[in-house]
Every structure is written in C-alpha cells, then in structure tokens.
C-alpha cells in the first residue's frame, strides 16, 4: 500500500463519522450526509495521489463533502426546503449541560427507539462506524441487498418522523441509553475482531471511537452502573489488543498471549471501575450484563499467567450472567470455565446441548474442536475445526484455527 493509499484509509477510519455528523447537523438529512461523505472520499482517491495529502485531511474532506451536499440540493431544486429543515435541526436547543459533540448527537439519532433494534445497530455501524454495506451484512449474517434496504428504511423513518438531531434531555436519557450501549458494544466488538475476510482483523479506529463515545455517555450519566460496566469491559478488552494478533496475522488466544504486552494503564482504569461497581453491588444495587462481563474480564486480566486464573470465580460470574441473559452464547462461554474446573468431558456434554442453536456460529465449533482435542478424539476434533474454519469471520481466526487443526496427530 502506498503512502497516499494509507493516508486515505487512515482518514476514512478517523474522519468518516465526523464528516457525516457535521453534514447531518448542517443539512438535517442522513442520505445527503452519507452520499456527500462518500463522494468526498472518492474525490480524495482521485486527487490526493496527484495533489498530495492535504495538511488537514479532515477539514479537506468536510469542505469537499459540504460542496457535494450543496450541489445535490441545488440539483434537486429543493434548496429552500432543505435549508429550512437544516436550520430547524441545527437550531434545535440542547438541554443545559449536555456535551456538544456532533458524533454523540448522530449516535442518539441512529439509536432512536422509533427504530427497530437491528435497524439501529446497522445504521450506527454505517453512519458512525463507517463500515461498508458488505461488512455490515456479514456482521448480521444477511444478504447485502437486504441490509441495504434495512438501512434505507431506517433513514427514511428518521426523516418521516422528524427525529431530532440532538442528545436527549436529562429526563429522557436513562430510557434511551440502553439501546445506545448495545450499539456501542457491537461497534466495539466489530473493531476488536472484524468480521470481514478482507479487512484488518483488529480495527483500532472502531474500538477507539466506541470507547470515546462511551466516555461521553458516562460523563452524562456518571451514576449509571451499566455505562460504567460497559466502559470497564471495553477498556479491559482493549488493553489486550496488541497481544491479540501475531506479527504474521494470526489470532492469539488468551492462553497464548504475552501478558507483558497488555496495557497496564487501561487495565488499572478498568479494574477501578469494576471495584466501584462491586461496592455498589455490596450496597444492594444488582449488577447488569455489562458489569458482570467486565468483572469476568477483570478476573482474566488480574492473572499473571493463565494458570493463575480463578476459574471458580469466572464460573460463578457466568452463572450470575446466565440468570440475566440465558443465551446459548453465554452458555458456551460458561462451558469453557467448566472445562477448567470439571474437565473437558463435562464441558463437551454442555456444549453439545447447544448444537441446534449454534450450528452456524463458528466459536461453537472451535470450542468443541478444542474440547475434543483435549479428550484425544482427533478425528472428531479435525472435523469440528474444519467447520469452524469454514464459518470463521476473518483471516486471523482462520489462520489460528488452521494451525490448531494441523497440530492434531
């Protein structure tokens, strides 16, 4: 990749959400904002190789996108109506004390409760995360055309319902934040291990943006336990990012990671947040899903070696989580802790009971392959690895699973 191509890729990662959010504030139309932003980046691909990368890529892209948006409005002969709409959105008063951040406004707009949850997730990944339609379709395991229709309908609903482009009022914020946290969690997960086979396995731009937005929401709701829990979960996961993929591009499992490469500062902050939530739980405030997941990650990041992991504590936390969220994925993760405490045979029995619900979920087959390997059932393990490789989401996972399969006797 040339320096210019690398600069364009970096600009897309860093500036996409900012450009879309700025244009949405100015013109009050997600379609115009998205199309103009895409045209601005296409123009950069054409011009930057000849003209050079501008000193401030974000400003150049925003200016170019703004001109494209104005051109489109003029072409449609609706400049006056659009201008009135833009002014209405732009002048919508923010409640006192709210954080002035266009991207935060954009995410609350994309996550409005008038939209179905799947539409909120998809729209946010596109408009805030900058993922392409194929990437989002793979994340949802649906056809690209169906995903495109879903996002188009979501934008049309925002427009028809005149959903305001602003951070909710203090009274409405607690009710609105749950959906936003779900979206941010998905955005972070997509960045931490991207689903696209042709993308970087770890997208730091997405994880960093998810953390940044979660920090902003925590500033709005400092006493909300789930906001603090999600932030702690992200920080403790992000702390392991540099150890997550090897120099050759292979996924590195938790038991093989260089723990000395973990980010001690992020771990310390994450542990502090977990301790705060544990104190609240001791005072009678029941923890939510993100707080429990953060506590599980705190146990893992407290161990200097995989052999020092307090698996009984991990299992107890998964039992607590299963009461809140009795999903098959939670049951699968719980089985991994069971394997460490009661052995792979007991864990395998629990995993096999999940087959009808997780038949197309590659971590199910990868977990089953590992348990069969530990039991010496190499032929069955190989078949499970083959299925996991077939379903794997990116090259890093595929490389890891292939190596583990090829190590079988």
Q: What is the mean pLDDT of each run of 10 residues along the chain (409 residues)?
A: 85 88 88 92 93 92 94 74 48 43 85 86 86 78 86 89 82 83 88 65 80 87 93 97 90 93 97 92 87 97 94 97 94 97 97 94 96 96 96 88 92
1-91, CATH topology level: Rna Polymerase Sigma Factor; Chain: A (1.10.1740)
- Any idea how long the chain is? 409
pLDDT in the model for residue 196: 57
Residue range(s) occupied by CATH 1.10.1740 in the chain: 1-91
CATH code given to domain 318-409: 1.25.40.10
Residue 105 pLDDT: 86
Confidence at residue 129, expressed as pLDDT on a 0 to 100 scale: 81
Where do the CATH 1.25.40.10 domains begin and end in the chain? 318-409
CA 157, 160, 165: angle at the middle one, nearest 5? 80
Q: Token pair for residue 230?
A: 């999600």
Identify the pLDDT of residue 94. 42
pTM of the model: 0.78
| Cβ within 8 Å of residue 36, ≥6 positions away | 23, 65, 66, 68, 69, 72
The Cα-based distances of 191 to 174, 210, 238, 245, 256 in angstroms read: 26, 9, 10, 13, 21
What lies within 8 Å, CB to CB, of 259 at 6+ separation is 243, 304, 305
CB 241 within 8 A of CB 251: no
Q: How far apart are CA 122 and CA 118, in angstroms?
A: 6
């Amino acid at each position: 990749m040339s320096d210019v191509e690398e600069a364009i890729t970096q600009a897309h990662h860093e500036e996409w959400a900012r450009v879309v959010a700025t244009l949405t504030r100015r013109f009050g139309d997600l379609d115009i904002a998205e199309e103009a932003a895409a045209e601005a980046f296409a123009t950069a691909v054409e011009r930057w190789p000849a003209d050079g990368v501008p000193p401030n890529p974000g400003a150049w892209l925003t200016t170019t996108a703004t001109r494209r948006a104005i051109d489109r409005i003029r072409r449609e002969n609706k400049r006056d109506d659009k201008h009135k709409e833009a002014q209405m959105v732009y002048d919508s008063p923010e409640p006192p004390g709210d954080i002035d951040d266009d991207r935060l406004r954009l995410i609350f707009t994309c996550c409005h409760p008038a939209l179905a949850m799947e539409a909120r997730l998809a729209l946010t990944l596109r408009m805030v995360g900058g993922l392409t339609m194929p990437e989002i379709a793979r994340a949802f395991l649906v056809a690209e055309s169906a995903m495109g229709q879903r996002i188009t309908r979501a934008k049309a609903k925002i427009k028809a319902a005149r959903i305001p482009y602003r951070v909710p009022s203090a009274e409405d914020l607690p009710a609105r934040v749950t959906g936003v946290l779900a979206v941010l969690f998905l955005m972070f997960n997509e960045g931490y291990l991207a689903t696209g086979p042709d993308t970087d396995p770890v997208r730091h731009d997405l994880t960093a943006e998810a953390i940044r937005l979660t920090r902003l929401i925590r500033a709005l709701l400092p006493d909300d336990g789930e906001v603090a829990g999600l932030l702690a979960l992200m920080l403790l996961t992000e702390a392991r990012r540099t150890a997550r993929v090897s120099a050759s591009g292979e996924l590195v499992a938790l038991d093989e990671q260089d723990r000395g490469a973990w980010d001690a500062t992020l771990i310390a902050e994450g542990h502090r947040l977990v301790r705060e939530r544990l104190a609240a739980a001791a005072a009678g405030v029941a923890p939510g899903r993100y707080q429990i997941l953060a506590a599980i990650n705190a146990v893992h990041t407290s161990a200097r070696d995989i052999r020092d992991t307090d698996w009984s504590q991990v299992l107890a936390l998964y039992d607590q989580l299963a009461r809140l969220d009795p999903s098959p994925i939670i049951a699968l993760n719980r089985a991994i802790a069971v394997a460490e405490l009661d052995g792979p045979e007991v864990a395998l029995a629990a995993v096999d009971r999940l087959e009808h619900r997780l038949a197309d979920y590659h971590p199910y087959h990868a977990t089953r392959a590992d348990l069969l390997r530990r039991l010496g059932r190499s032929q069955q393990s190989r078949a499970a690895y083959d299925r996991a490789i077939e379903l794997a989401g990116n090259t890093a996972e595929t490389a890891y699973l292939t190596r583990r399969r090829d190590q079988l006797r």
